[in-house]
Amino acid sequence: MSGIIQLSPLDMSLAALLVIALAAVSRRLQLKIGGRLLLSAFRTVIQLSLIGFVLKALFASAAPGWVALMAVVMLLAAGREVRARQKHRLRGTWGFGIGLSAMFISSFAVTILALTVVVSPAPWYAPRYAIPLLGMLLGNTMNGLSLSVNHLTQNVRTQRAAIETRLALGQTKSEAIDDIRRESIRTGLIPIINAMAAAGLVSLPGMMTGQILAGNPPLDAVKYQILIMFLIAGGTGFGTLAAVWMTSRRLFDDRHRLRLDRLEG
């Protein structure tokens, strides 16, 4: 194969027309998301263009310090997104800190495991492998964390009376919130479970598609995609567990009292 087909500005413009048309329809239907849709599309173009230049320089130098700096920036941005997607956020820096800690524990650990044990590039921090792997893990873990923590805080608010009744009857804070916590973890894991269940039948996942378009043999692309999906499942699962556990502890004090004043909104 001769390699990937280059896209012209006209090709990109035709694809952008789909987003513009969708925004126009949204405005016509008064969905009130047209502006956000266009802003998100604009951010996509700017952010991906900038990261393209950054990665080009990063791949050329392959200095571990720059790779580490890039990883930290990605982690901080993901932590901010997790907090921003919550309807009822923890007050102060707790919402940001919990998301950041959970992703650091899960995504960073799984990425390092993959780089040092499974893929084993030389050097192990090679940016061509480290940055894309970390990006995929952070992106999916971020979605899982956002869904699970949002589900947890919303249900704690709506079921406040039931939780306080359980506490009054002698249950511990863990027992009083256990069913909500389990359901929140399930909610966070649904996207990756659906993605794995549909892979190959309903959809060809992004990494596999990219490798095939770049001319790699399909079976090699399949191996990498299976690896990535297993890594994402592990990172999302353990990150969701950590985030839900830390958030649920923050919602109670040491005397097993529910503290909704620690939530915004």
Mean pLDDT (the chain) is 90
pTM, to two decimals: 0.82
Do 23 and 76 sit in the same domain of this protein?
no
Convert the pLDDT of each residue in 12-56 to its tens digit.
Answer: 999 999 999 999 999 999 888 999 999 999 999 999 999 899 888
Do 25 and 123 sit in the same domain of this protein?
no
Do 32 and 104 sit in the same domain of this protein?
no
Residue 175 phi, psi dihedral angles, 5° rounding:
-70, -40
Do 166 and 41 sit in the same domain of this protein?
no
Do 45 and 119 sit in the same domain of this protein?
no
Domain total of the chain: 2
Range of the domain at 17: 1-61
Convert the pLDDT of each residue in 175-222 to its tens digit.
Answer: 999 999 999 999 999 999 998 998 887 777 777 878 887 778 888 888
What is the spatial distance between Cα 1 and Cα 238, in angstroms, rounded to a whole number?
A: 40
Host H or E run for residue 76: helix 64-84
61, 80, 108 - which closes a domain? 61
Do 106 and 48 sit in the same domain of this protein?
no
